[in-house]
């Protein structure tokens, strides 16, 4: 049953009964990743590719549990990770990985230390702070309501005093515990000579608490513990929502480490093989890369020749044939034969590290972006604090009020102006917008992504994998018939070359493995003995056919023993709605540019099809980065949409960046927005929602500030009692939240219009 579900949902092959040689695909020594639980039991963690639905959990877990020696296995569906514990004496990691591979999943071991644990802890700390504040807020409110109603009935001063003391007892520890989130951030901002939203928040909370405590001590009528703690609770809710929105994307980012997670087989002087982690490899070492393995060093080929798929790095969909002397880069996939490499660069000087550095560099500039909330806080805090000071001096100097009473009034000003609604205005809109977008397959990674999206003038697209689907499809043509396809596809099943894979896929279920002994000639094609003689499937050049000038794009030729040939042409299809979306974006006044690392002929064809006038081919990562920086220097806000590793620096340099979920992990890591599915529509959707939510955020700020315009005069005049303070604050928060919820239906309404 479980297998049926898995087969139905997952685009993976379940290969039961057939032998899989897993050892050729993974390094031979994985001891660096082992964790010892006790003498015989070993625990190992894997990142698993191909988990798509709930049934996958069951497929994996039952398969592993039925395997002899496995003590426990647990899939984390949110993060696509797997923890397995097994008895060393009964099974080993290869058997585990084989079990996974049989079910169609690829497991990559990782060590827990590699992933940042700290961020997880922060999530929990926020949740704890929120829980404590929530508990305290509800209980203090319970007491406060009694006090307020006590004003109208017969509550004696002693009972009230008891209630105040109890409130203090609950609120103060809770504020000290939960408030650290704001205090820490406020203090670090002040240390750097800046102010942020947390400064007025912290000040208001601390002052309100302090004043309430002193009022309680002298047995006065009013205490503001409820305001202080409720404020804190609301703000923590906002903070947690904000944090959660990014949590999911963080998991994606951590997946990127799987690029580096593979171990490297180094050939030693005596001919033996030692397995080390990538950072232990020395320059000049000779490294063995098995067929189907990801290359994890930058090197030069010294023995063997093979097809290397470097799509992660260049964005090119076709693999290149490489032979002795050619350079290969970490992150590429070795598709054909085993290769021996001489390591040219290690660690910090590899291409991967170079790209990471470019990204970091660009990242620093992006960090300069100040969110709207912080900009408002910057102006807001001084105004509020001056106002409170003026209140104090005004009352003492001009109205001869006692300094204690004047201090109370000015603290009331601070409480009433506390930016509760301001603190909620942005996160709530973002959460609602993110929820809406998520339903449309758009994942927002950074909090300010929406804000930045709303300001875009220019959109830069990458070609392969962004405007196109990134996988090759067989074109239906007269140059081949079904019989040709059946024969060719049967042989193609033996190869890992993308064209062969596309051919195999196109044939679908009609393929019967009628051929045997297929030999692959790297960079040329496949050759096998079949009915009537030797068949060949490969490039036109290898088959020595003359060029008739008709070859546009990738193709494969099948040659029968009789000499008859059939030609299969492939193309990377444009996303179904690419033309429509590009058209719509142009209509909305966005400028569109196409930058690609692909060959000129391919790029111009796509640009022509989509009606993009501005395009550039054969761009390397640095050129893309430079283009973006130039445009930004001109004062334009640029959105970059791309998927390849070569796009990563440009993605980071853009005002805001989008990646399809099929993108290289590193690009997803760099992007602010990740969109799923086969359509390009989410890009349009994201821009549309960003504009809507920008309007809402501004409305929210206007509402929150408008509220203050009414309440501040009351506070300055000294009319604010705790009841009014609580009511004002809660209701302004609620108004802001309700306004944000409107986004839900403005979008669904807007959809029918567009």
The Cα 551–Cα 201 span in angstroms is: 67
Q: Does 77 help bind another protein (rule: CB under 8 A)?
A: yes
Complex with another protein: residue 162 or 738, whichever CB lies closer: 162
Complex with another protein: residue 66 or 752, whichever CB lies closer: 66
Number of shown-chain residues binding another protein (CB under 8 A): 31
Q: How far is the CB of 39 from another protein (least distance, A)?
A: 18
Closest by Cα among 423, 370, 451, 426 to 181: 423
Is 462 part of the annotated catalytic residue set? yes
Closest by Cα among 468, 493, 641 to 570: 468
Q: Bridge partners of 87? A: 41
Select the residue interacting with another protein from 138, 149, 608, 618 (CB under 8 A): 138
Q: Which helix (H) or strand (E) holds 45?
A: strand 41-49
Q: What number of other Cβ atoms are within 10 A of residue 125's Cβ?
A: 14
- Binding part of the chain for another protein, among 75-83, 102-110, 289-297, 725-733 by CB under 8 A, reads 75-83
The Cα 163–Cα 142 span in angstroms is: 10
Closest by Cα among 178, 168, 183 to 237: 178
**Nearest 5 degrees, angle CA 25-CA 28-CA 30?**
105
Q: Does 76 help bind another protein (rule: CB under 8 A)?
A: yes
Q: Does 142 help bind another protein (rule: CB under 8 A)?
A: yes
**Nearest 5 degrees, angle CA 56-CA 645-CA 363?**
105
Q: Does 439 help bind another protein (rule: CB under 8 A)?
A: no
Interhelix angle 225-255/180-191, nearest 10 degrees: 80
Q: How far is the CB of 445 from another protein (least distance, A)?
A: 17
The two tokens of residue 324 are 């002795």
Q: How far is the CB of 587 from another protein (least distance, A)?
A: 38
Q: How far is the CB of 127 from another protein (least distance, A)?
A: 6
Burial (Cβ within 10 Å: 0-12, 13-18, ≥19) of residue 326: middle
Complex with another protein: residue 71 or 505, whichever CB lies closer: 71
Complex with another protein: residue 125 or 486, whichever CB lies closer: 125
Provide Rg for the chain, Cα atoms: 32
Q: Does 57 help bind another protein (rule: CB under 8 A)?
A: yes
Site for another protein in 166-195 (CB under 8 A): 166, 170
Q: What number of other Cβ atoms are within 10 A of residue 647's Cβ?
A: 36
Q: Which residues contact 497 (CB under 8 A, 6 or more apart)?
A: 307, 319, 335, 336
Q: Does 249 help bind another protein (rule: CB under 8 A)?
A: no
**Per-residue contact string for residues 496-515; x = within reach of another protein by CB under 8 A:** --------------------
Q: Bridge partners of 85? A: 43, 72
Complex with another protein: residue 197 or 442, whichever CB lies closer: 442
Select the residue interacting with another protein from 9, 35, 71, 580 (CB under 8 A): 71
Q: Does 10 help bind another protein (rule: CB under 8 A)?
A: no
Closest by Cα among 352, 355, 347 to 328: 352
Q: Bridge partners of 461? A: 594, 641
Look-up of token digits 């590193």: 666
Complex with another protein: residue 81 or 575, whichever CB lies closer: 81
Q: Which residues contact 742 (CB under 8 A, 6 or more apart)?
A: 696
Q: How far is the CB of 54 from another protein (least distance, A)?
A: 3
Site for another protein in 117-136 (CB under 8 A): 124, 127-128, 131-132, 135
Select the residue interacting with another protein from 159, 510, 588, 748 (CB under 8 A): 159
Site for another protein in 625-644 (CB under 8 A): none
Q: How far is the CB of 159 from another protein (least distance, A)?
A: 6
Q: How far is the CB of 83 from another protein (least distance, A)?
A: 11
β-bridge pairing 673-675 and 306-309: unpaired
CB 651 within 8 A of CB 634: no
| Active-site entry in 285, 462, 643, 672 | 462
**Per-residue contact string for residues 37-56; x = within reach of another protein by CB under 8 A:** ----------------xxx-
Contacts with another protein, residue ranges (CB under 8 A): 53-55, 57-58, 62, 65-66, 68, 70-71, 75-79, 124, 127-128, 131-132, 135, 138-139, 142-143, 156, 159, 162, 166, 170
Catalytic residues: 462
């Amino acid at each position: 049953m479980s297998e049926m579900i898995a087969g139905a949902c997952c685009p993976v092959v379940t290969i039961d009964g057939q032998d899989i040689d897993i050892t050729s695909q993974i390094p031979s020594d994985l001891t660096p990743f082992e964790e010892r639980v006790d003498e015989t039991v070993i625990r190992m963690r894997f990142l698993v590719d191909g988990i798509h639905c709930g049934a996958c959990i069951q497929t994996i877990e039952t398969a592993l549990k039925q395997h002899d020696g496995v003590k426990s296995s647990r899939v984390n569906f949110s993060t696509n990770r797997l923890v397995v514990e097994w008895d060393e004496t009964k099974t080993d990691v290869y058997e585990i990985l084989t079990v996974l591979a049989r079910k169609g999943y690829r497991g990559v071991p990782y060590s827990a230390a590699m992933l940042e644990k700290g961020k997880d802890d922060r999530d929990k700390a926020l949740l704890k702070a929120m829980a404590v504040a929530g508990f305290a807020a509800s209980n203090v409110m319970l007491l406060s309501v009694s006090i307020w109603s006590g004003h109208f009935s017969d509550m004696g001063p002693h009972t009230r005093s008891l209630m105040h003391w109890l409130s203090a007892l609950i609120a103060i520890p809770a504020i000290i515990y939960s408030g650290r989130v704001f205090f820490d951030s406020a203090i670090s901002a002040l240390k750097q000579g800046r102010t942020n939203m947390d400064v007025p928040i912290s000040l208001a909370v601390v002052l309100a608490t302090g004043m309430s405590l002193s009022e309680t001590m002298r047995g006065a009528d009013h205490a503001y513990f409820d305001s202080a703690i409720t404020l804190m609770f609301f703000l923590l809710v906002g903070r947690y929502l904000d944090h959660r929105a990014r949590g999911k994307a963080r998991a994606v980012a951590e997946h990127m480490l799987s690029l580096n997670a593979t171990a490297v087989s180094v050939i030693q002087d005596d001919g033996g093989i030692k397995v080390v982690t990538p950072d232990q490899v020395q320059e000049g070492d000779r490294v063995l890369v098995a067929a189907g393995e990801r290359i994890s060093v930058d090197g030069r080929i010294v023995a063997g020749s093979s097809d290397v798929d470097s799509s992660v790095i260049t964005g090119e969909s076709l693999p290149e044939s490489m032979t002795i002397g050619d350079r290969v880069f970490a992150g590429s996939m070795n598709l054909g034969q085993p290769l021996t490499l001489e390591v040219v660069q290690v660690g910090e000087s590899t291409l991967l590290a170079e790209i990471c550095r470019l990204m970091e560099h660009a990242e620093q500039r992006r960090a300069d972006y100040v969110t709207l909330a912080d900009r408002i806080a910057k102006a807001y805090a001084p105004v509020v604090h001056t106002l409170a000071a003026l209140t104090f001096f005004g009352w003492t100097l001009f109205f001869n009020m006692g300094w204690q009473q004047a201090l109370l009034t000015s603290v009331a000003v601070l409480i009433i102006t506390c930016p509760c609604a301001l603190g909620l205005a942005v996160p709530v809109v973002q959460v609602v917008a993110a929820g809406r977008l998520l339903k449309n397959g758009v994942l927002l990674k950074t909090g300010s992504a929406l804000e930045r999206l709303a300001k875009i003038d220019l959109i830069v697209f990458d070609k392969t994998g962004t405007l196109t689907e990134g996988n090759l499809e067989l074109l239906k043509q007269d140059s081949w018939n079904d019989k040709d396809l059946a024969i060719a596809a049967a042989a193609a099943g033996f190869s890992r070359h993308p064209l062969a894979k596309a051919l195999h896929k196109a044939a679908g279920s009609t393929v019967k493995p009628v051929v045997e002994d297929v030999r692959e000639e790297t960079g040329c094609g496949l050759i096998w003995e079949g009915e009537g003689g030797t068949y060949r499937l490969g490039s036109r050049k290898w088959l020595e056919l003359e060029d008739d000038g008709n070859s546009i794009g990738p193709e494969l030729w099948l040659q029968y023993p009789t000499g008859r040939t059939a030609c299969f042409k492939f193309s990377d299809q444009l996303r179904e709605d690419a033309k429509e979306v590009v058209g719509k974006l142009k209509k909305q006044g966005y400028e569109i540019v196409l930058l690609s690392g692909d060959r000129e002929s391919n790029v111009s064809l796509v640009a022509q099809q989509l009606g993009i006038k501005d395009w550039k081919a054969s761009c390397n990562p640095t050129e893309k980065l430079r283009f973006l920086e130039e445009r930004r220097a001109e004062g334009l806000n640029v959105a970059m949409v791309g998927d390849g590793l070569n796009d990563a620096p440009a993605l980071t340099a853009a005002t805001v960046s989008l990646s399809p979920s099929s993108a290289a992990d590193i690009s997803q890591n760099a992007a602010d927005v990740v969109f799923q599915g086969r359509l390009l529509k989410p890009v349009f959707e994201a821009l549309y929602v960003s504009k809507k939510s920008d309007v809402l955020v501004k409305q929210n700020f206007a509402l929150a500030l408008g509220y203050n315009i009414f309440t501040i005069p009351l506070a300055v005049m000294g009319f604010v009692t705790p009841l009014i303070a609580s009511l004002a604050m809660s209701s302004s928060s609620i108004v802001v939240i309700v306004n944000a919820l409107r986004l839900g239906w403005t979008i669904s309404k807007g959809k029918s219009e567009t």
